[in-house]
Amino acid sequence: MRTKANTWTARALIGASVLFILVMLALPLAMILSEALHAGWSAYWKAISDSYTLKAAHLTLTATAAAVVLNAVFGLAAAWAITRFEFPGKRLLTTIIDIPFAVSPVIAGLVFILTFGRLGWMNPILTAYDIKIVFATPGIVIATVFITFPFVAREIIPVLEARGNDEEQAAALMGAGFFTIFRKITFPHIRWALLYSVILCTARAMGEFGAVSVVSGHLRGKTNTLPLHVEILYNEYQFTAAFAVASLLAAAAIVILVARNIVEYMVKKEDGGHVR
């Protein structure tokens, strides 16, 4: 139940939150833009068209795309399994999905070093087939996938649970196959939740720093993602360039936010909103 904001408490609360948002979010964002453009557009363009920046952007997009695709497939599978079947260890699986949210990204990175690094237990196999994982692109991808794993399953499980499986059982009784049921009944219910989770996953994947920093080795032009590149530029006294690259990430974040709001609106419009 909402009331009009005319009480003293309401005004104070609104004032405080607006002030907080201005200081904590809007000002830093404005700072990024002003620092990025403070040497003019040509310096800005030079910074974002630099070959190291482009390579970093390429790697960030590769890792993000891989994370989105892999997590959509496995997240969907996990959500389906958890909400539609009874099996031993189901609760454990539900908990395990949340591990990446609970574990510090730095620890996640170290775990991959200990697994796939030269001293890791997987190393003999990897060397035998001449596969490089950490300090190379696959390591960056794995770290990103790990960090963003829970998003899809976490969004879809509540939707599937709220829906129940009556319609699917009815369809099965009428002789529909697995894929028909999925395509015609399950998927239409979850498509917005899926899109929503994919958007969140994209945002998180593009900005990931901690885990990627550990497995990267910071090889310039090879294992450097955009967030890592911002740090390098900043450490090299190239402040304009650092903020220019940071503004790219900020722009991507804003696009993602707008997309999220549109999807949220569509969800509400379509079925009263099962997405939280």
Partner 1 sequence: MKSLSRFFSFFLALATFFAASLFPATFVPAAELELTNVSYDPTRELYESFNKAFQKHYKAKTGKNISVVQSHGGSSKQARAVIEGNAADVVTLALAYDITAIEKAGLIKAGWQKSFPNNSSPYTSTIVFLVRKGNPKNLKDWGDLIRDGVGIITPNPKTSGGARWNYLAAWAWAHRQYKGDEKAVKDFIAKLFKRVLVLDTGARGSTNTFVQNGQGDVLLAWENEAYLALKEQKGKFEIVTPGLSILAEPPVAIVDSVVDKRGSREAATEYLHYLYSDEGQRIAGQNFYRPSNPVIAKEFGDRFDLKVNLVTVDDPIFGGWNKVQSVHFNDGGVFDQIYTR
Residues contributing to the site for partner 1 (CB under 8 A): 51, 54-55, 57-58, 61, 113, 116-120, 123, 132, 134-135, 217-222, 232, 234-237, 255, 259, 262, 266
Distance CA 170, CA 154 (A): 26
User: What's the number of CA atoms in the CB half-sphere (13 Å) around residue 99?
Assistant: 9
The residue among 116 and 146 lying less far from partner 1, judged by its C-beta, is 116
Shortest distance, position 116 Cβ to partner 1, whole Å: 8
The residue among 69 and 262 lying less far from partner 1, judged by its C-beta, is 262
Distance CA 113, CA 219 (A): 16
Shortest distance, position 126 Cβ to partner 1, whole Å: 9
The residue among 52 and 74 lying less far from partner 1, judged by its C-beta, is 52
Cβ–Cβ under 8 Å, residues 218 and 161: no
Contacts for 140 with CB less than 8 Å, ≥ 6 apart: 59, 63, 212, 215, 216, 223, 225
SS3 label, residue 238 = coil
The conformational region for residue 238 under phi > 0 = left, psi -120 to 50 = alpha, else beta, is beta
In this structure, which amino acid lies at residue 276? R
The residue among 142 and 153 lying less far from partner 1, judged by its C-beta, is 142
Shortest distance, position 45 Cβ to partner 1, whole Å: 12
The residue among 34 and 180 lying less far from partner 1, judged by its C-beta, is 34
Helix (H) or strand (E) holding 164: none
SS3 label, residue 166 = helix
The conformational region for residue 273 under phi > 0 = left, psi -120 to 50 = alpha, else beta, is left
Shortest distance, position 26 Cβ to partner 1, whole Å: 22
The residue among 103 and 232 lying less far from partner 1, judged by its C-beta, is 232
Shortest distance, position 236 Cβ to partner 1, whole Å: 5
First-last CA distance in the chain: 18
Shortest distance, position 10 Cβ to partner 1, whole Å: 33
Cβ–Cβ under 8 Å, residues 205 and 102: no
